[in-house]
Amino acid sequence: YANVGQKFTNDKYFWSRPSAVDYNAAGSAGSNKGPSNPEYLKQVQDRLDSFLVHNPGVKKEEVPSELVTASGSGLDPDLSPQGAYVQVARIAKTRNIPAEKITALVDQQIQNPLLSLFGPKKINVLKLNIELNKIK
């Protein structure tokens, strides 16, 4: 599966982490804007507002920062389990599939860190979305 982030914006899919380079692998880079940069803050707020509109019932404080901030490379293919779980209700509603079924899929896609010690748990978004399409 792809080791480069891909753009998913349709409500029936899990969304990836935002990209500062619009997922263009030829131009891997971060935005280089600091956390106090007004343009950067507006971008993050716009992403948060959009996420909340598409995910009614999710509270602002429940949205992991990875869903509104781009990675250093702009091409991160993975989300944390929380980044996926917070999207389950939207996908369940859009696809008319019980949320429990989608949550179970997320559980199955969690990759543990190397030797269960080094790094966080993660989920490859492309692989997750491919498996999601197999659910009836």
| 119 φ/ψ sector (left φ>0, alpha ψ -120 to 50, else beta) | left
Question: Residue 23's pLDDT is what?
Answer: 54
- Burial readout 69-101 (b: 16 or more C-beta within 10 A, e: otherwise): bbbebbbbbbbbbbbbbbbbbbbbeebebeeee
Question: Mean pLDDT of all residues in the chain?
Answer: 84
| pTM of the shown model | 0.82
Question: Residue 29's pLDDT is what?
Answer: 47
Listed as ranges, residues in the chain with pLDDT below 70 are 1-7, 19-35, 71-76
Question: Residue 119's pLDDT is what?
Answer: 81
Question: Residue 47's pLDDT is what?
Answer: 92
Question: Residue 55's pLDDT is what?
Answer: 96
Which amino acid is it at 62? E
Spans of all domains in the chain:
25-132
- Rounded distance between C-alpha atoms, residue 136 and residue 118, angstroms: 36
